[in-house]
Amino acid sequence: MFIDKQQVTGRFAPSPTGPLHVGSLVAAVGSYVMARQAGGLWLMRMEDLDEPRVVPGMADDMLRTLEALGFQWDGEVMRQSRRKDAYQEALDELMKRGLVYACGCSRAEIARIASAPHENGELLYPGICREGLPEGKEERAYRVTVYDELIAFNDLVMGHYSEILTASSGDFVVKRADGPFAYQLAVVVDDHFQGVNQVVRGADLFTSTPRQIYLQTLLGYETPVYAHLPLVTGPGGAKLSKRDNALSLAEGRDLATEGGGLLVRALRFLGQNVPDELEKAGCREVLEWGVANFDMCRVPRVGGEFG
């Protein structure tokens, strides 16, 4: 029998653009119980690259809130805003190999040529600048060249998925010329650097996964195991109002009293059969129940309201 002795390393990687909310709590709980159930590490990363959207002090507020909810992470908190040299190094490597080129197109120019935008509002880039920046154009972004090959993976929740990047995103942006590195590049460089081999996160990132796998392949990184968790929505499937669902200590939530109940609700949202007597239990007790009893097969593919 083959026994995989590789250490499982999971992570939780929120963006400090607003308080922790019930949607991010579900991702925290899911990633935590899966990593711990495997006897693995659970790392914390603040995805604070999008500086105009980052709220000062919010990263620390999120960490205090998570601590109050009984979460314990391993090692130092990684902050993407301090990792720009690593992203630049990866970008240089791709450029040196001729896999990245400068693009001078505006969104409006792309929209005029591209077919209808995808569900997530992204446009398929038609490759205008592939052969060089057209005359009179300034560099707006750097794009990685994609090929006509099928990128497939098995998601622990969503099942098998495959995509051909030339038909879904086209050559995609890895850095804005005058701005931040793209999420797709940063997340891949960080997961590799931190040894993350189990990515458990919200289904809103499901369709970015093939682009991340493609970058992993180009950079010679291992591809982690993925599990995309169902999303919490507002009433009738509406987008979750993050303000109404904030869990910040700073907003006066008494997590010492209601934290255990919130964690029970998060586990039940993930399809778990949590006994009623745990509703009044403390946070650590609920998390420990989750680590011992979490069953991936029970996680629904479709989200809904936070019950």
228 DSSP β-pair partners: 201
The residue (of 172 and 289) whose beta carbon lies closer to Zn ion is: 172
**C-alpha–C-alpha distance, residues 227 and 33, integer Å:** 13
State the minimum distance, in angstroms, from the CB of residue 128 to Zn ion. 4
Residue the block writes with tokens 């493609």: 214
Q: Which of 29, 49, 54, 128 binds Zn ion (CB under 5 A)?
A: 128
Identify the burial level of 102 via C-beta atoms within 10 angstroms of its C-beta, where 0-12 means exposed, 13-18 middle and 19 or more buried. Answer: middle
Q: Pick from 101, 221, 83, 208: which is nearest to 155 by CA?
A: 208
- Scanning 69-77, 127-135, 190-198, 243-251 for contacts with Zn ion by CB under 5 A, the matching segment is 127-135
The residue (of 101 and 226) whose beta carbon lies closer to Zn ion is: 101
User: Binding of Zn ion at residue 63 (CB under 5 A)?
Assistant: no
Residue the block writes with tokens 């009293």: 257
Give the CB-side neighbour count of residue 148, counting CA atoms within 13 A: 0
All residues at 6 or more sequence positions from 129 whose CB lies less than 8 Å from its CB, including other chains: 101, 102, 103, 104, 105, 137, 143
Q: Are 305 and 235 spatial neighbours (Cβ–Cβ below 8 Å)? A: yes
State the minimum distance, in angstroms, from the CB of residue 101 to Zn ion. 8
User: Binding of Zn ion at residue 263 (CB under 5 A)?
Assistant: no
Q: What is the CA radius of gyration of the chain?
A: 20
**C-alpha–C-alpha distance, residues 162 and 152, integer Å:** 4
CA 21, 27, 31, 32 torsion: positive or negative? positive
The residue (of 138 and 254) whose beta carbon lies closer to Zn ion is: 138
State the minimum distance, in angstroms, from the CB of residue 179 to Zn ion. 16
The residue (of 57 and 134) whose beta carbon lies closer to Zn ion is: 134
> Binding mask 21-60 vs Zn ion (x if CB under 5 A, - otherwise)?
----------------------------------------
Query: Residue 231 corresponds to which tokens in the numbers above?
Result: 């999303």
State the minimum distance, in angstroms, from the CB of residue 100 to Zn ion. 13
Q: Which of 44, 49, 94, 129 binds Zn ion (CB under 5 A)?
A: 129
State the minimum distance, in angstroms, from the CB of residue 68 to Zn ion. 47
DSSP H helical ranges for 149-254: 165-168, 183-193, 209-219
- Scanning 66-74, 88-96, 129-137, 268-276 for contacts with Zn ion by CB under 5 A, the matching segment is 129-137
The residue (of 62 and 128) whose beta carbon lies closer to Zn ion is: 128
Where in the sequence numbering do the catalytic residues fall? 242
The residue (of 42 and 172) whose beta carbon lies closer to Zn ion is: 172
User: Binding of Zn ion at residue 103 (CB under 5 A)?
Assistant: yes
Q: Are 249 and 61 spatial neighbours (Cβ–Cβ below 8 Å)? A: yes
State the minimum distance, in angstroms, from the CB of residue 187 to Zn ion. 23
Q: How many residues bind Zn ion (CB under 5 A)?
A: 4
Which residues here bind Zn ion, judged by CB under 5 A? 103, 105, 128-129
